[in-house]
C-alpha cells in the first residue's frame, strides 16, 4: 500500500512538472498620444496580444498630443509613470538622463542581441534612443516635415502649386502675402504658419541653413549667438504681427487647420502621416493638395527638417517579469509596421518597410524619404525640453515685441548655456 502510494505521489509530481506553469497576472498601462487612425489599429493589436498572452492586461490610455507631452515628466518624477509609453523626441533625453526609462531587453523582444535589433532598422534611425552604447527604445514613428500646399488657394491667387511653391523662406514670405485674407488686423486665412510647439524640427535647420551651428562639439555650450540666428530672428520679425502680419502662435495650429478648417490656412508643415488624415477628413482636399520640400534660405545650406521620433519605452520600476512583458508587447506592436503605415501614415523604419506595396503606393512617400537624408535627429543634450522652450520664447519675442533682436539673442544664449550646465 505504501509502495503504491509512493508511486502515485511520484507520478503526480512528474505530471505537475510536465504541465506549464502559468505566470501570475500582469497589468500594464500604455500611455500614448491621440491619433484617431492609429487608435483603432492599436486597440485591435492590444486585443490580439492579450489573447495570445493569457493573464496579461494592457490598459490603453490616450490623451491629446500636448497633454501627453506635458504629463509624462511629472508622472515619472512622482513615481507614477506608465508601464509602457510612447515618448516624443523632446522628452527622450530627459527621461534617459534621469534613469526614468529602462534599457531595451532584446531577448524579451525576440532578438538575440541589441545589435540584432539595431540591424533590423534603417541605419541611423535608432541613433536618438542610443545613449552611451545602450539602446532604450524603438520607434512608434519617425517623421520629417515638408510643406503642404492647398492647390485651390494657390489657383485662386493666380499661383501654380507646382511652379510657384516656395523653394526659399524669402519666397514663402511673398507667396504667403498673396494668399493671406484679412479682416482688419485679424487673419481669416493665413498663407502659411509655423508649428510653434515643436520648433526644434524646423527652427534649428533654419539656423543651420543660414550657416549657423547650434552647439559646441562637446555640447558644453551653445553657439546660437551668431549672424545666422540673427538672420532667422529678423525673418520672424518680418513674418509676425510687427512686420507683414502673416501668422503667429495665437492662431489654431496650422497643420491641424490645413485639413480641419481648410479655408483658414493655405500652407503648413507636417509629416507623411498627414496624407492619410487628409484623405479621411476631406476627399476633395485630398485630390487638390501638393507637398514641396521644406524651404531653405536663399543661397544657404541644403538642410532638411529634423527627424522627429516617438519612441516606445518601458518603466524601469516595473518588476523584471513586467518589464519583459512590456518589451514583448512593444515587439508585437513594432512587428506591424505596414499596418501602422496603412492605418495612419506612420513610418516605423524597419528595413523591410520601404519595399512594401503600402509604402510605395502612398502619395508623396518618396519625397519624404529623399528629404529625410538631408535632415537628422536633434542633438542629445541635457534639458532638451527646456532649450525648446527657449526657442519658443525667443521667437515669440522677435515676432511680438519691440525688443532689440540682438538683446533677445543674448538672453537666449545665457538661458541655453544655463540649461546645458544644469
Residue 158, φ and ψ in degrees, nearest 5: 80, 25
354: pLDDT strictly greater than 50 = yes
**Sorting pLDDT into bands at 50, 70 and 90, what band is 18?**
very low
Residues 336, 257, single domain; the answer is no
25: pLDDT strictly greater than 70 = yes
Q: CA-based angle 309:313:314, to the nearest 5?
A: 175
The per-residue pLDDT for range 282-293, each reduced to its tens digit, is 889 999 999 999
Give the per-residue pLDDT at 270.
96
Q: Is the whole model's pTM more than 0.85, yes or no?
A: no
Residues 178, 275, single domain; the answer is yes
Q: What integer is the mean pLDDT of 136-153?
A: 96
Lowest mean pLDDT segment, chosen from 28-42, 47-61, 357-371: 357-371
| 269: its cell numbers | 508643415
190: pLDDT strictly greater than 50 = yes
160: pLDDT strictly greater than 80 = yes
* CATH code at position 49: 3.40.190.10
Q: Which of 352, 372, 392 is the last residue of a domain?
A: 372
The per-residue pLDDT for range 342-351, each reduced to its tens digit, is 998 899 999 8
Residues 296, 225, single domain; the answer is yes
Question: Strand 56-63 relative to strand 26-33: parallel, antiparallel, unpaired?
Answer: parallel
Q: Is residue 321 part of a domain?
A: yes
Kindly report each contact of residues 281-290 with a partner whose C-beta sits within 8 Å and lies 24 or more positions away, as own/partner. Answer: 285/150, 285/259, 288/150, 288/151, 288/152, 289/148, 289/149, 289/150, 289/151, 290/148, 290/149, 290/151, 290/161, 290/162, 290/165
DSSP annotation of 198 reads: G
Distance CA 191, CA 83 (A): 43
Residues 100, 37, single domain; the answer is yes
Q: Is residue 388 part of a domain?
A: yes
Lowest mean pLDDT segment, chosen from 93-97, 156-160, 324-328: 93-97
Most confident of 23-32, 242-251, 323-332, 382-391: 323-332
Comparison of pLDDT for 260 and 66, the residue scoring more = 260
| 415: its cell numbers | 538661458
Domain count, the chain: 2
Q: Is residue 8 part of a domain?
A: no
Q: Is residue 210 part of a domain?
A: yes
Give the per-residue pLDDT at 21.
38
Q: Is residue 6 part of a domain?
A: no
Residues 301, 335, single domain; the answer is no
Q: Is residue 352 part of a domain?
A: yes
147: pLDDT strictly greater than 90 = yes
Residues 191, 217, single domain; the answer is yes
Computed over every residue of the chain, the mean pLDDT equals: 91
Q: What integer is the mean pLDDT of 310-314?
A: 97
Residues 338, 261, single domain; the answer is no
Most confident of 7-21, 226-240, 383-397: 226-240
**Sorting pLDDT into bands at 50, 70 and 90, what band is 185?**
confident
The fraction of the chain above a pLDDT of 70, given in percent, is 95
Q: List the domain range (segments joined by +) for residue 78.
A: 26-136+308-372
**Sorting pLDDT into bands at 50, 70 and 90, what band is 370?**
confident
Residues 104, 157, single domain; the answer is no
**Sorting pLDDT into bands at 50, 70 and 90, what band is 6?**
very low
**Sorting pLDDT into bands at 50, 70 and 90, what band is 67?**
confident
Q: Is residue 5 part of a domain?
A: no
Comparison of pLDDT for 72 and 236, the residue scoring more = 236
Residues 329, 396, single domain; the answer is no
Q: Is residue 19 part of a domain?
A: no
8: pLDDT strictly greater than 50 = no
Q: What integer is the mean pLDDT of 3-27?
A: 47
Residues 279, 368, single domain; the answer is no
Residues 107, 249, single domain; the answer is no
Q: Which of 355, 372, 389 is the last residue of a domain?
A: 372
Distance CA 378, CA 94 (A): 13
Q: What integer is the mean pLDDT of 261-288?
A: 91
Residues 64, 179, single domain; the answer is no
412: pLDDT strictly greater than 60 = yes
14: pLDDT strictly greater than 80 = no
Give the per-residue pLDDT at 1.
41
Q: What integer is the mean pLDDT of 292-300?
A: 96
Amino acid at each position: 500500500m505504501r509502495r503504491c502510494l509512493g508511486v502515485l505521489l511520484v507520478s503526480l509530481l512528474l505530471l505537475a512538472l510536465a504541465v506549464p506553469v502559468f505566470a501570475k497576472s500582469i497589468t500594464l498601462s500604455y500611455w500614448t498620444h491621440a491619433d484617431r487612425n492609429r487608435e483603432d489599429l492599436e486597440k485591435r493589436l492590444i486585443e490580439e496580444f492579450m489573447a495570445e498572452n493569457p493573464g496579461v492586461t494592457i490598459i490603453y490610455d490616450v490623451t491629446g498630443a500636448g497633454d501627453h507631452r506635458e504629463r509624462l515628466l511629472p508622472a515619472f518624477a512622482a513615481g507614477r509613470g506608465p508601464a509602457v509609453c510612447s515618448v516624443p523626441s523632446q522628452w527622450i533625453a530627459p527621461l534617459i538622463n534621469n534613469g526614468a526609462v529602462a534599457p531595451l531587453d532584446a531577448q524579451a523582444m525576440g532578438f538575440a542581441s541589441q545589435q540584432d535589433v539595431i540591424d533590423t532598422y534603417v541605419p541611423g534611425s535608432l541613433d536618438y534612443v542610443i545613449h552611451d552604447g545602450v539602446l532604450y527604445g524603438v520607434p512608434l514613428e519617425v517623421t520629417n516635415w515638408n510643406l503642404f500646399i492647398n492647390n485651390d488657394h494657390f489657383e485662386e491667387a493666380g499661383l501654380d502649386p507646382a511652379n510657384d511653391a516656395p523653394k526659399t523662406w524669402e519666397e514663402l514670405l511673398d507667396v504667403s502675402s498673396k494668399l493671406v485674407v484679412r479682416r482688419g488686423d485679424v487673419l481669416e486665412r493665413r498663407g502659411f504658419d509655423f508649428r510653434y510647439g515643436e520648433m526644434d524640427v524646423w527652427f534649428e535647420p533654419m539656423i543651420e541653413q543660414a550657416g549657423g551651428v547650434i552647439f559646441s562639439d562637446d555640447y558644453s555650450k551653445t553657439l546660437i549667438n551668431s549672424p545666422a540666428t540673427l538672420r532667422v530672428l529678423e525673418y520672424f520679425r518680418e513674418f509676425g504681427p510687427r512686420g507683414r502680419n502673416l501668422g503667429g502662435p495665437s492662431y489654431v495650429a496650422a497643420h491641424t487647420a490645413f485639413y480641419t478648417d481648410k479655408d483658414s490656412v493655405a500652407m503648413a508643415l507636417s509629416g507623411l502621416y498627414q496624407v492619410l488624415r487628409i484623405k479621411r477628413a476631406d476627399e476633395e482636399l485630398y485630390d487638390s493638395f501638393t507637398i514641396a520640400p521644406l524651404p531653405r534660405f536663399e543661397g544657404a545650406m541644403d538642410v532638411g527638417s529634423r527627424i522627429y521620433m516617438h519612441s516606445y519605452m518601458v518603466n524601469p520600476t516595473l518588476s523584471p517579469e513586467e518589464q519583459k512583458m512590456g518589451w514583448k508587447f512593444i515587439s508585437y506592436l513594432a512587428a506591424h509596421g505596414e499596418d501602422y503605415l496603412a492605418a495612419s501614415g506612420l513610418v516605423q523604419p524597419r528595413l523591410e518597410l520601404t519595399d512594401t506595396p503600402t509604402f510605395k503606393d502612398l502619395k508623396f512617400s518618396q519625397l519624404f524619404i529623399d528629404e529625410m537624408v538631408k535632415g537628422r535627429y536633434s542633438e542629445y543634450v541635457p534639458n532638451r525640453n527646456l532649450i525648446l522652450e527657449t526657442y519658443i520664447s525667443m521667437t515669440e519675442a522677435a515676432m511680438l515685441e519691440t525688443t532689440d533682436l540682438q538683446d533677445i539673442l543674448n538672453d537666449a544664449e545665457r538661458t541655453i548655456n544655463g540649461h546645458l550646465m544644469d
